Structure 1
Amino acid sequence: MDRVSDIDFAALCAGRKFQPSPLAWEDQVLYFLLLDRFSDDKEQGYRGNDGEPVTGGHTLPYDPAVDNGNAVATPDNAAVWRDAGGKWCHGNLRGLTGKIGYLKRMGVTAIWLSPIFKQVSFQPTYHGYGIQDFLSVDPHFGSVADLGKMVRTAHANGIYVILDIILNHSGNVFTYAVENGEPPWRGGTYPVVGFNNEQGAASLPFQDYEQNPMPVGKDDAVWPGEFQNPACFTQKGRIRSWDYDPEFREGDFFDLKDINHGYGPDAGYTPSPALLNLCEIYKYWIAAADIDGYRIDTVKHMDIGATRFFVSAIKEFAQTIGKENFLLVGEITGGRERAFDTLEETGLDAALGIDDVQLKLEGLMKGENNPEEYFNLFRNSLLVRKDSHVWFKDKVVTMINDHDQVCKGEHKARFCAAGDGSKLALGALALNAMTIGIPCIYYGTEQRFDGRGDWDGADRYIRETMFGGSFGAFRSKERHFFDESGDLFRELADILKLREEKLVLRRGRQYLREISGDGVNFDLPRIMGGRMLSVVAWSRILDKTEMVLAVNTDPDNAHKAWVLMDAGLHPAGSSLKCVYSTQHGDEGALVLTVQRKGAAGDIAAVELDVPAAGFVVLE
């Protein structure tokens, strides 16, 4: 389609039954993948969607004994591998469609997919955030038909699909009339040479589509045609100060061109034609592909009123086709207070937990943070100015790895990059899955990807390919990682299955529990001697059911600890059953609850034995 006005919603929706939304998004387990880095549909030796081995491809499974580092044996080889990570690697929608069974068997119930829209042709924007045509699928990924087939396959396997979308900016679709082409924001507009053609030359008039005397090819300028209008862009140059308002709202995100959304107060915002068209575009993708939710990029850089307007438009449209709980997640950098204020002001459903949440979850499992720093992120009533507890169970998407790691600055690497990360990965994933929030697994985490480049902390190293190619994980090439036999994949699948079976583990309240070595003196676990090697225990409570969970942050030694529980839920003489342990012989064992009078009333406690770097669950 060339224009937004070409969209025929009546034809798109006629006679169709759309996938209904889930009742509660905190019930789901998300899996975030960069499409270019996930699967090219050329692997063999993995299990297909039907569970049977696939033999048709040519890329063999990774063997750590011989394949680790096979792409960087010489400095020249290493340079080729590094260079490949900054280019298109050719993962596609067909490849993802064939790996839905892999995700289902892991326990994933929703895919969060990087942007699939057509990118500027003269830059390697494999990540999807440099859009040139908002109404087309990038040919690197496939077609609209391929997208529809992937979504139908996911839905048939009980998996929802969330698309990553961009409202704040387009790709690098025009060039400023200044010496280097990328002037800094100073508050005013800059002159523009013209729209860029498919080679990146600013050879096309910077004027309205209807008045342009020159033919504009589908790889030129920006599409749909309504965006070929200078008024669609702020034209104020790139952001330098990421926390100065209005610079971070008006400026360009690097060379990506900022879109003009409108003006006015938040409650009475006047949308621009560009924002109105973006609303129609993203309604189109819901209808065309039966999408279940959106993750909205760079929300911090948009007016609150613009985000609020978009949220209302999308929610209302989704309800008209039976998606009553269409998910809208915002990427909101700048700390929790900004994030939760933005949620309340805009109507977004949830924020990505890529600031405090990610760092403190990782720090807890590695013994570098006191556990209460992580657990308190979810119960700060005062943060949203409420007098009673507000539990952020469905307001935060939590994860330990992601694709850009804003929270880590220039030192980007995955959880398993150094130290004991590889040993502690299961505990970190268990914390992520079994504490409050909407858990999300970043692709490759289940295979212990380390994101190490050994040269610098560039984004490319935390964006390895699952399918091998020329930029595989662990500095490898031509080997894929769809291995369901590894211990981390199998244990994670067991943990996520338990989460699915137990409502309390998805929706229950959450309490970090005090522990004791002698059963008499209790306190919260804290860092001692520079690193916390300890049991960390918490409860999830729903109605009259309490389940007790614990990880061990010591990678080498088992630890025992008494753990306090809710005495009102555990009469004297009661017992709990171990329903999961990384030491599988312990499952099924009964553990007696000790109850006695304390200074503040009845006390109930249970003694846990947690394996090294392990995880246990009692009910």
Structure 2
Amino acid sequence: MKRTLQALVLLMLTALLPAQKQVIERVDPPSWFTGMKDGALQLMVYGKEIGSYDVKTDYPGVEVKTLIRTENPNYLFVNLFITGEAKPGTVTLKFTSGKKKLTHDLPLLARPAGPARGFNSSDVIYLLMPDRFANGDTANDNVEGMTEQMDRNNPGGRHGGDLRGIMDHIDYLHGLGVTGIWLNPFLENNQQHSSYHGYSTTDFYRSDPRYGSNEEFRQLVAEAHRKGMKVVMDMIFNHIGSFHWWMNDLPSKDWIHQFDTFTRTNYRASTYMDPYAAESDRMLMEKGWFDVTMPDLNQSNPLVETYLIQTSLWWIAFSDLDGIRMDTYPYPHPDMMARWAKRVEEEFPGFFIVGEVWYDDPAQISYWALNKKNSDGYRSNLPSVTDFPVCFATHRAFEGKLNPTDGLSGLYNVLSQDFLYPEPLRNVIFLDNHDMTRFSTQTGKSLEAYKLGLSFIMTTRGIPQLYYGTEIVMEGDKSKGDGRLREDFPGGWPGDTKNVFTATGLSDEEKEALAFTRLVLNWRKTKEVIHTGNLKHYIPTDGVYVYFRYNCNESVMVIINTNQKESRTISGEKYAESLEGFTHGTDIITGRKIEDLDSFTIAPETAMIIELK
């Protein structure tokens, strides 16, 4: 009797409590655009028991086509079609389940006018890590709700750099001679530690508030455009961060690749093109996790594929973006990635995408190149690839461990394999990046080696990329931890005694490297012969590598002497086929005039970039 009475009291009290209000917690994408060539849009709607609802709208030009439900009742996928007649405004979506009713307003924005700017071999891209470049807004150093707080004393911690800091110093980048800015990921990474690098996304549609807002990123792109520069956004489709909001309530069991115990990828992307690879090895490459805090997304799930594709389209349209660098490009499902690249090109013709494909083998890199006719029939549709073979060849050529001729022969040989690429001018080339020992450290902290390397990268074929700090020969050893590769850029923080932006407190070597970088990059800006001209090179001998960039209007002779102590005499007879019709020239680095091309000298550990006349 007592228990019955208690139950009745509890029931009465429950009835008196206010009913828990049903809410829509999240809708992705948060907005969309008119004027898209493909009018299809799939919304991911999240809220308790939202899967039991139907959806309608009476907005002109917007139709609800179908609804997709998964085994998780807290998700509903709404397929809309936005016709060409739809105008910008607010689309009210009406959700009903029996007598329960909800609404959600979806902003419909105007798509940016004008064609995609894209990138090509006339550009030089400056790679920077937002957390380590400049702190322009100290108010966002620590943000409520973000787990990891600022700690500049920790190489693997957050240091406070942000989007405002980049905008504050965009004139520096413009003056340096770069034409594009590639930001390492700036989307929300609400991980417990090491969140500064950005490669563990916890929200695909939100800038990490410690970097600033979505609107600030859009302002950064607009400011770059006003300076005649472009912006590349770093994205990751392969995995998410372990604290992504999905991980608390997955849309479906197969949203990520799951195993009984943690299973790491084998990192063997070569299994995709290997005609003899075991299927189990291919499976582990694609489905294994990149790291313990990086759950691997299942791109074979059509809902995952659509979500990821729409994410990139949204950021392009929202911010008027110019390019995307896709991290770990070979790790997701290859067919899905090919469909993604094709979809972006169809929607934004000429848009630039470069995929990170980390091999030291041109044959394997070229498998992913645009228009490559692979024997297995695979077409990546990827506009550009990261040319790691050229990068590693520059290390071997200029680090001084090989004899001068053997080192330069590596450069010659890697370029001699350009027949593997349908369009090698599209390859992104670089001396170093955020994942490897810095070029200065790799080559023995030699200013001369830096000048040789930069002269090569800025005059050979491809799209050069310069890693922040390389212009002042910053050091960083991979063996001491990734944080050491990504140290704070001098002058980016209040109180810095060394300031690159104002050229104060720099050593003589740093000043010389910076001046050299500005000279070569700004010269390159207007040199069509370097951007698109033909390349002819000669087999290196006596530690000297000579090549020519030429078109019907101009010819440039590049000479690289890696001998540390010996000058070399350049005989015009050896290069007669490229020097025919020219009698003299000027070295753009020193201003030295070469009056007689038949015979002249080059100093030890020196590069010459000679405009021929």
Instruction: Assess if the C-alpha contact under 8 Å between 1:433 and 1:496 holds in 2.
Output: yes
Shift of residue 608 of structure 1?
Answer: 4.1
Which residue is 1:36 aligned to? Answer: 131
Is 2:561 the counterpart of 1:552?
yes
User: How far off is 1:352 after superposition?
Assistant: 0.9
Residue 397 (str. 1) matches residue 428 (str. 2): yes
Name which of 561, 569, 576 aligns with 2:584: 576
Q: Which amino acid aligns with 1:377?
A: V
1:360 matched to 2:403? The reply is no
Measure how far apart 1:611 and its partner are.
5.7
Q: Percent identity?
A: 22
> Bigger CA drift: 1-10 or 133-142?
1-10
CA distance in 2, matches of 1:377, 1:611: 24
CA distance in 2, matches of 1:564, 1:380: 26
Q: CA deviation at 1:590?
A: 3.8
Structure 2 residue aligned with 1:7: 31
Q: Pick from 458, 481, 487: which aligns with 2:481?
A: 458
Alignment of 1:202-217 (within 5 A): 204=248, 206-208=249-251
Deviation of the 1:513 alpha carbon? 2.4
Which residue of the partner structure matches residue 169 of structure 1?
A: 239
Alignment of 1:423-572 (within 5 A): 423-452=448-477, 456-467=479-490, 479-484=498-503, 486-514=511-539, 524-525=540-541, 534-543=543-552, 545-555=554-564, 558-563=567-572, 567=576, 570-571=579-580
Aligned to 1:17: 113
1:18, distance to aligned residue in structure 2 (A): 4.6
Output the CA distance in 1 between the equivalents of 2:111 and 2:313.
17
SS in 1 for 2:258: coil
AA paired with 1:617? I
Instruction: Tell whether 2:284 aligns with 1:250.
Output: no
d(CA) in 2 for partners of 1:235 and 1:381?
40
- State the alpha-carbon separation in 2 of the partners of residues 308 and 149 from structure 1: 31
2:112 maps to 1:108: no
Structure 1 residues 383 and 207: CA distance shift in structure 2, 3 A: closer
* Kept in 2: contact 1:304–1:342 (CA 8 A): no
1:468–1:478 CA contact under 8 A, matched in 2: yes
- 1:333 shift after superposition: 2.0
Equivalent residue number for residue 217 of structure 1: none
Distance 1:364 1:261 in 2: 40
Q: CA deviation at 1:301?
A: 0.8
1:433 Cα offset (Å): 0.7
Aligned to 2:56: none
Structure 1 residue corresponding to 2:297, chosen from 225, 236, 259: 259
**Corresponding residue for residue 342 of structure 1:** 368
Provide TM-score, normalisation by structure 1. 0.70
Equivalent residue letter for 1:613: T
SS at match of 1:130: coil
Any idea what SS the aligned residue of 2:26 has? coil
User: Is contact 1:535–1:560 with CA below 8 Å preserved after alignment?
Assistant: no
Give the CA deviation at 1:115. Answer: 0.8
CA distance in 2, matches of 1:90, 1:19: 35
Deviations 1:188-218 (A, max 9, x none): xxxxxx965xxxxxxx4x454xxxxxxxxxx
8 Å contact kept, 1:378–1:393:
no
Q: Which amino acid aligns with 1:426?
A: K
Q: Is the 8 A contact 2:239 2:295 kept in 1?
A: yes
- Are residues 418 and 539 of structure 1, via their aligned partners in 2, closer, same or farther at CA, if it must alter by over 3 Å? closer
**Cα distance 1:495–1:143, how it changes in 2: closer, same or farther (>3 A)?**
same
> 2:330 is paired with a residue of what secondary structure?
helix
C-alpha distance in structure 1 between counterparts of 2:302 and 2:595, whole Å: 63
For residue 150 of structure 1, give the secondary structure of its aligned residue in structure 2.
helix
User: Aligned with 2:295: secondary structure?
Assistant: coil
Q: Secondary structure at the match of 1:26?
A: coil
SS of the counterpart of 1:171? Answer: coil
Structure 1 residues 567 and 347: CA distance shift in structure 2, 3 A: same
What letter is aligned with 1:460?
Answer: G
Give 2:341's aligned residue: 311
Q: Determine if contact 1:160/1:292 at 8 Å carries over to the other structure.
A: yes
**Partners of 2:491 and 2:33 in 1: CA distance:** 40
CA distance in 2, matches of 1:540, 1:238: 49
Q: Secondary structure of the residue that 1:275 maps to in structure 2?
A: helix
**Aligned AA (1:375):** Y
CA displacement at 1:467 relative to structure 2: 4.2
CA contact (8 A) 1:416 1:422 kept: no
Pairwise CA distance, 1:564: 5.5
Q: CA deviation at 1:563?
A: 4.9
Distance 1:563 1:424, change over 3 A: farther
Seen in structure 2, the aligned counterparts of structure 1 residues 413 and 547 have a Cα distance that, compared at 3 Å, is closer
Structure 2 portions without partners, runs of 5+: 1-24, 35-87, 89-107, 139-149, 269-280, 373-378, 505-510
The reply to whether residue 272 of structure 1 matches residue 302 of structure 2 is: yes
**Relative to structure 1, is the Cα distance of residues 380 and 195 closer, same or farther in structure 2, using a 3 angstrom cutoff?**
closer
Structure 1: which amino acid aligns with 2:324? Y
- Checking the alignment, whether the CA contact within 8 Å between 1:92 and 1:140 is kept in structure 2 is yes
Query: How many residues get paired?
Result: 471
Q: Distance in 1 between matches of 2:121 and 2:443?
A: 31
Report the secondary structure of 1:415's partner residue.
helix
SS in 1 for 2:195: coil
Residue 130 (structure 2) pairs with residue 98 (structure 1)? no
Residues 491-545 of structure 1 show CA distances to partners (whole Å, capped at 9, x for unaligned) of 222212222222111112222225xxxxxxxxx326xxxxxxx332211122363
Contact 1:401 1:442 in 2 (8 A): yes
- On the 8 A contact 1:537/1:563 being kept in 2, the answer is no
- Structure number with greater CO (CA < 8 Å, separation at least 6) is 1
Say if 1:565 and 1:327 are closer, same or farther in 2 by CA, change over 3 A: farther
Query: Does the Cα contact within 8 Å between 1:391 and 1:509 map onto a contact in 2?
Result: no
Cα gap change, 1:420 to 1:459, in 2 (>3 Å): closer
With over 3 angstroms needed to count, the CA separation of the structure-2 counterparts of 1:403 and 1:337, relative to structure 1, is: same
Match of 1:139?
Answer: 209
**Offset, 1:613:** 3.4
- Mapped partners of 1:613, 1:82: distance in 2: 38
User: Cα RMSD over matched residues?
Assistant: 3.0
Shift of 1:36: 0.7
What is the CA distance between 1:302 and its match in structure 2? 1.6
In the alignment, which residue of structure 1 is the partner of 2:80?
Answer: none
* Pair 242,121 (structure 1): closer, same or farther in 2 beyond 3 Å: closer
Q: Which residue of 1 aligns with 2:407?
A: 370
Work out whether residues 126 and 182 of structure 2, in 8 Å CA contact, stay in contact via their aligned partners in 1: yes
Rg larger for: 2
